[in-house]
């Protein structure tokens, strides 16, 4: 909802009522019909800031240079998936464009939301303004519009979906829950938080497999690898392959920060992304074995995660201060007749 539409609201009460009506509106089921072309639809998940957008921008660029037709769809409300691909320039999002077109009484055309560079096609679903909607619901509405634009008739070799993994929300789990993709890839590093998110994604895949789903985890990309080995150990424990290991390198960090594509055949990093592209294409989705929280912590030294800390129960005296307050029971006792 735009700022202008908020300003036209006659009262805060009516604005709240409108929000409640929107939240209560039923959500149409997203179709999952079979594409007319054999297309690999791959959902990539990871913790915010772990480097999904960097990985996907370079991966999609390399795939295009190898002669593949690739569509990159950003499904993160931050709308930063395509920024690196387009040299730091933000492209109009589907949700934003749809709202503007609706107000103008016009239909959304593919050229309004999909843009291309050197053979890579890309678009951003977008999300609501802060505090004014649900990001997951925005994802669902975005895919509904893609359906109307003919998503399942498009002739791509690869469709790459960039999803935020550290938000436990049905909208962000859409590709897994509704078999909208064939496989999932997780991006993580050698830190507990990113592996926690990767483990949650594996848990979601396992949960829906138990319900009859078909999506599997095709592997992990280890980004900013510092050689400590926790991410590789995690991948081995949950039973998924490591598709690529991207080192913690100053040249990569600097070029990424300046929105420079390094996944070019002639680049010094070209062979690394060429190998990743090959591994992504041939990877087989598997059913992961998620770890428990204690098992996940065991990948790290006790000093780094506080595993040796003892949980000491608090007392009523601790909570009340100097003098413990003892209250009579609220139990009702009936006299004998």
pLDDT at 213: 93
Better-scored residue on pLDDT, 309 or 6? 309
Q: What is the CATH number of the domain that holds 170?
A: 3.40.50.300
* Residue 12 falls inside a structural domain: no
Question: Which one is catalytic: 78, 100, 116, 237?
Answer: 78
**75 against 217, higher pLDDT:** 217
Contacts of 168 (CB under 8 A, 6+ apart): 200
Query: What pLDDT is stored for residue 329 in this prediction?
Result: 66
Does residue 205 lie in a domain region?
A: yes
pLDDT band at 8 (very low <50, low <70, confident <90, very high): very low
> Annotated catalytic, 52?
yes
Q: Is residue 17 part of a domain?
A: no
Q: What is the structure's pLDDT at 133?
A: 66
Cα separation, 198 vs 74, in Å, equals 19
Give the pLDDT confidence score for residue 3 in this predicted structure. Answer: 42
pLDDT band at 5 (very low <50, low <70, confident <90, very high): very low
Confidence at 204, pLDDT banded by 50, 70, 90? very high
Find the catalytic residue in 76, 162, 166, 225: 166
Model-level pTM greater than 0.95? no
pLDDT at res. 56:
95
Q: Look up 76 and say whether it is catalytic.
A: no
Active site residue 78: yes
pLDDT, tens only, 15-61: 567 656 655 666 555 444 444 448 999 999 999 889 999 999 999 99
Task: Tell me, yes or no, whether 317 lies in a domain.
Answer: no
Q: How distant, in Å, are the alpha carbons of 172, 283, 319, 320, 329 from that of 326?
A: 48, 63, 12, 10, 9
Residue 330 placed within a domain: no
Question: What percent of the chain has a predicted confidence (pLDDT) above 70?
Answer: 79
Told to judge if 37 belongs to the known catalytic residues of this protein, a careful annotator would answer no
Contacts of 267 (CB under 8 A, 6+ apart): none
| Residue 209 lies in domain | 27-299
Count of domains observed in the chain = 1
Q: Which of 47, 76, 225, 255 is catalytic?
A: 47
Least trusted range by pLDDT, from 92-96, 138-142, 254-258:
138-142
Q: Say which residue, 335 or 172, is predicted with more confidence.
A: 172
d(CA 174, CA 133): 17
Lowest mean pLDDT segment, chosen from 79-83, 190-194, 225-229: 79-83
Whether residue 10 is contained in a domain is answered as no
Considering only 25-29, 181-185, 288-292, which range has the smallest mean pLDDT? 25-29
| Distance, C-alpha 166 to centroid of its chain | 7
Q: Which of 52, 80, 183, 225 is catalytic?
A: 52
Whether 336 maps to a domain, the answer reads no
Please give the average per-residue pLDDT across 138-163, as a whole number: 88
pLDDT tens sequence across 271-289: 999 999 999 999 999 999 9
Flag whether 204 is in a domain. yes
Average pLDDT on 90-116 reads 92
The residue-averaged pLDDT of 143-154 equals: 88
Place of tokens 């790459």: 160
Name the average pLDDT for the chain.
85
């Amino acid at each position: 909802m735009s700022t202008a539409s908020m300003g036209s609201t006659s009262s805060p009460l009516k604005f709240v009522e409108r929000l409640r009506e929107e939240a209560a509106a039923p959500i149409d089921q997203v179709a999952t019909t079979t594409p007319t072309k054999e297309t690999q639809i791959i959902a990539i998940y990871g913790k915010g800031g772990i480097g999904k957008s960097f990985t996907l921008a370079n991966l999609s660029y390399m795939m295009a240079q190898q002669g593949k037709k690739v569509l990159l769809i950003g499904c993160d409300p931050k709308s930063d998936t395509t920024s690196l691909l387009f040299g730091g320039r933000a492209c109009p999002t589907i949700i934003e464009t749809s709202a503007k077109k609706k107000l103008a009484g016009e239909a959304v055309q593919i050229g309004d939301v999909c843009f291309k560079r050197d053979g890579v096609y890309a678009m951003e679903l977008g999300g609501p303004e802060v505090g004014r909607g649900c990001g997951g619901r925005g994802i669902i509405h975005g895919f509904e519009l893609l359906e109307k634009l003919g998503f399942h008739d498009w002739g791509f070799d690869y469709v790459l979906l960039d999803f935020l993994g550290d938000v436990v929300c049905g909208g962000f789990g859409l590709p897994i829950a509704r078999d909208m993709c064939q496989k999932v890839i997780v991006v993580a590093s050698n830190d507990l938080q990113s592996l926690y998110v990767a483990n949650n994604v594996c848990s979601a895949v396992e949960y829906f497999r138990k319900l009859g789903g078909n999506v599997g985890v095709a592997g992990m990309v280890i980004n900013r690898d510092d050689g400590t080995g926790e991410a590789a150990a995690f991948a081995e424990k949950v039973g998924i392959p490591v598709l690529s290991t991207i080192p913690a390198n100053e040249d990569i960090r600097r070029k990424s920060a300046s929105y420079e594509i390094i996944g070019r055949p002639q680049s010094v990093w070209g062979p690394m992304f060429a190998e990743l592209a090959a591994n992504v294409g041939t990877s087989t989705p598997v059913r992961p074995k998620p770890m428990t929280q204690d098992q996940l912590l065991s990948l790290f030294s006790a000093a780094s995660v506080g595993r040796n800390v003892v949980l000491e129960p608090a007392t009523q005296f601790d909570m009340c201060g100097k003098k413990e307050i003892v209250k009579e029971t609220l139990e009702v006792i009936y006299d004998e007749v």
